[in-house]
Amino acid sequence: MSSLKHKGKGPQAMTANELRDGYSVWLDENLDWTRDYSKSLRTEDQDLIDRMQLKAETDEAKNIVVGTYFIDIESDTGKPARYREKFRVAGPSYDTADLLETK
C-alpha cells in the first residue's frame, strides 16, 4: 500500500468499484458514477462532501458499487494525492490486452 495515508483534508473525491464489472469509478458532479476520472467531482465544499458520502452509502446498499472511500486530491494538479490512487485513475501502464487490440 502507498506510504501516503488518507488525510481527509483539502479537496476530496469519492471512489469505489462497480459491483458487476469491478471497474474503478468516481462520483461526478451529478453524483452519478463515472469510469472517467476527469469527470469526477473534486471538492472541498463540506456540504457536497456530505452528499457524496450519503450517495456512496446509498449506492453501496443498493449493490451498485462496492468499497466506497474518499481520496485526497492534490489542489494544484487535481490528481489523487496517493500513488496507488493515481494508478487506479491511469489504469495499468502495461497490459497485454492493449497489445492484442493494436494487432
Partner 1 sequence: MYRYDEFDAQLVAERTKQFRGQVERRLAGRLSENEFRPLRLMNGLYLQLHAYMLRVAIPYGTLSSEQFRMLAHLAEKYDRGYGHVTTRQNMQYNWPKLPDVPDMLDDLASVQMHAIQTSGNCIRNVTCDPYAGATAEEIEDPRPMAELIRQWSTLHPEFSFLPRKFKIAVTAAEKDRALIKAHDIGIQIVKNDAGEVGYKIIVGGGLGRTPIIGQTLREYLPKSELLAYLTAALRVYNRYGRRDNKYKARIKILVQETGIEAFREQVEAEYATIDISDIAVSDAERERITSYFASPDFEKLDNDPAELTEALGNNNAFSLWAKNNVADHKADGYAIVNISLKPKELAPGDITAEQMRATADLADKYSFGELRTTHQQNLVLPHVKQADLPALFAALEKVGLATDNINLITDIICCPGMDFCALATARSIPISQAIAERFADPERQRLIGEMQIKISGCINACGHHHVGHIGILGLEKAGVEFYQVKLGGDASEDAAIGKVTGPGFSEEELLDGIENIVELYLVRREEGERFLDTYKRIGMAPFKEVLYA
Q: Which residues bind partner 1 (CB under 8 A)?
A: 1-4, 17, 19-24, 60, 62-63, 66-67, 81-84, 86-88, 91-97, 99-100
Least Cβ distance, residue 69 to partner 1 (angstroms):
13
Tell me the C-alpha to C-alpha distance, in Å, between residue 18 and each of 33, 47, 68. Answer: 9, 25, 10
Taking the least distance from each CB to partner 1, the nearer of 46 and 102 is 102
Taking the least distance from each CB to partner 1, the nearer of 45 and 91 is 91
> What φ, ψ does residue 40 adopt, rounded to 5°?
-75, 155
Least Cβ distance, residue 100 to partner 1 (angstroms):
5
Q: Are strands 12-18 and 65-72 parallel, antiparallel or unpaired?
A: antiparallel
Q: Which residues is 90 bridged to in the sheet? A: none
Least Cβ distance, residue 57 to partner 1 (angstroms):
13
Burial class (CB in 10 A: 0-12, 13-18, 19+), 64: middle
Taking the least distance from each CB to partner 1, the nearer of 17 and 53 is 17
